[in-house]
Chain A
Amino acid sequence: MNGTTLLDPTAETAPADRELTPRKASLDGLTVGLLDISKPRGDVFLDRLEENLGRRGASVLRFAKPTFTKPAPADLRHEIATTCDAVIEALAD
């Protein structure tokens, strides 16, 4: 934040107030999106993860963010949301 500290306007005690999206019972038949945040070595991790998920019954679609410094572009998020049943984002380090 350009070195400026902003004071928190919230109560700072507020618990998470939204619930996670309900999960499916199993991986079987699920299309899982793997979103590479595009940090070095992440692709090697994701390649292996893809193999593992495939063995467990999931189909995998691969996506990559243009840069790890920003949220994924809206079009990319839309594409993932409309083609996948679940999503894994990796690998932030």
Chain B
Amino acid sequence: MEDEAEAMYERGWTDGLPVVPPTEARVLAMLEGTTRRPDEVVALLPPNLAECTVEKVAVNAVLAGCRPEYLPVVLAAVEAVCTDEFNMHGILATTMGVGPVLVVNGPIADRIGMNSGINALGHGNRANLTIGRALQLVVRNVGGGRPGEVDRATHGSPAKLSFCFAEDETGSPWTTLAEDRGFARDADVVTAFCGEAPRIVVDQKSRSADSLVRALAEGLRSAVSPRTVMGMDAMLVVSPEHVARFRDAGWDRARFMEELGGHLMVEADTILAGAGGIEEGVPEGFAGTTLPKFRPGGLLVVHAGGPAGLFSSVVGGWLNGPMGSEPTSREITP
């Protein structure tokens, strides 16, 4: 008799970690998590453009270790990434080590026990990890997007196993990411962003909002490369201790974004091709100009993290716009 866990590896169903055997009983229980019919087609999954039903998502959610109440989030995430604007196919095929980063807003996050606090971007929370993983397993198993085959990432990233967290809404002085993207405060929303693994930006000294916003801008300028401007997006995950500086100064989200944007203007001469003896850079034609690091709307700001720690995190993005990926949000429905 073949060992069940080994058999699932051999069939290529896993991301390298063990998976939960998708028995009929488990899949039926998973399907209880949604009111949608099992045979409803959720999306066409790249790269094979395979029809993906609610049931297939449920099977993969079982594999990933989800509880049934997570399924609506996984379904919305699958819908979000399988859009022309998000461009899951390109994200899969790129040599850059990026993948779908999921941010969940709305009451559902608390209801299903998602983590927006200590280790929100890390390990330890079943909902965060298994929702992100389920999405990647759907892409792998239904879409056929496997590392080394269509997935051509040079290094990949541990974040490609799963990168999913909730925004800390109640602890934030700001509107939420979903509100910023046009949804109601009480709507359940998942936002997919094409990003790499998070990187810390340390500032343990700034007492003023003005000092801290400059420090965060400096950290953001190196996202992907200090020499890329406008072509790549980023996500900034501001920690509670950092956001407190802005709350104390009375800065709302709009004020913060405006101040931050002002410090994200880059003197083109410093990043011209050849400047500083580095051949990478922007074309000579930009000499003497000032360029914004991010295109309008190209920086997503989220509030999450534990109560202690004067750090924020930067998640570098990938090509934006029609050639690349647009951040994409979907309402989570039962």
Asked whether any CB of A lies within 8 Å of a CB of B in the complex, the reply is yes
Q: Chain A: residues with CB nearer than 8 A to chain B?
A: 1-2, 4-11, 13-14, 17-18
B292 within 8 A of A: no
Complex contact B144–A9 (CB within 8 A): no
Stretch of B45-53, B119-127, B176-184, B247-255 lying at the A interface = B45-53
Q: What residues on A are CB-neighbors of B146 within 8 Å?
A: 17
Quick one: closest B residue to A4, CB to CB? B23
A13 CA to B45 CA in the complex, in Å?
12
Complex contact B27–A17 (CB within 8 A): no
Q: Contact partner of A2 among B4, B13, B45, B142, CB < 8 A?
A: B4
Complex contact A11–B2 (CB within 8 A): no
Q: How far is the CB of A65 from chain B (nearest CB, A)?
A: 16
Q: How far is the CB of A67 from chain B (nearest CB, A)?
A: 13
Complex contact A7–B144 (CB within 8 A): no
Complex contact B21–A9 (CB within 8 A): no
Q: What residues on A are CB-neighbors of B4 within 8 Å?
A: 1-2, 4, 6
Stretch of B56-64, B258-266, B303-311 lying at the A interface = B56-64
State the interface size on chain B (CB cutoff 8 A).
29
Q: What residues on A are CB-neighbors of B21 within 8 Å?
A: 4, 6
Q: What residues on A are CB-neighbors of B24 within 8 Å?
A: 5, 7
B149 within 8 A of A: yes
**Lowest 7 A-B CB distances belong to which pairs?**
A11-B50, A9-B141, A9-B59, A14-B144, A10-B141, A7-B22, A11-B142
B143 within 8 A of A: yes
Complex contact B23–A11 (CB within 8 A): no
Residues 100-134 of B contacting A (Cβ, < 8 Å): none
Q: What residues on A are CB-neighbors of B63 within 8 Å?
A: 9
Complex contact B52–A11 (CB within 8 A): yes
Q: How far is the CB of B333 from chain A (nearest CB, A)?
A: 23
A-B contact pairs, 17 of them (CB 8 A): A1-B2, A1-B4, A2-B4, A5-B23, A7-B22, A7-B24, A9-B13, A9-B56, A9-B60, A9-B141, A9-B142, A11-B52, A11-B141, A11-B142, A13-B50, A14-B50, A18-B149
A14 CA to B45 CA in the complex, in Å?
11
Q: What residues on B are CB-neighbors of A4 within 8 Å?
A: 4, 21, 23
Evaluate whether A1 and B7 lie within 8 angstroms (CB atoms) in the complex, with A11-B45, A14-B144 already known.
Answer: yes
Quick one: closest A residue to B51, CB to CB? A11
B278 within 8 A of A: no
A14 CA to B22 CA in the complex, in Å?
19
Q: What residues on A are CB-neighbors of B13 within 8 Å?
A: 9-10
Q: How far is the CB of B2 from chain A (nearest CB, A)?
A: 6
Complex contact A11–B59 (CB within 8 A): no
A9 CA to B23 CA in the complex, in Å?
11
Quick one: closest A residue to B61, CB to CB? A9
A11 CA to B141 CA in the complex, in Å?
7
Complex contact A7–B149 (CB within 8 A): no
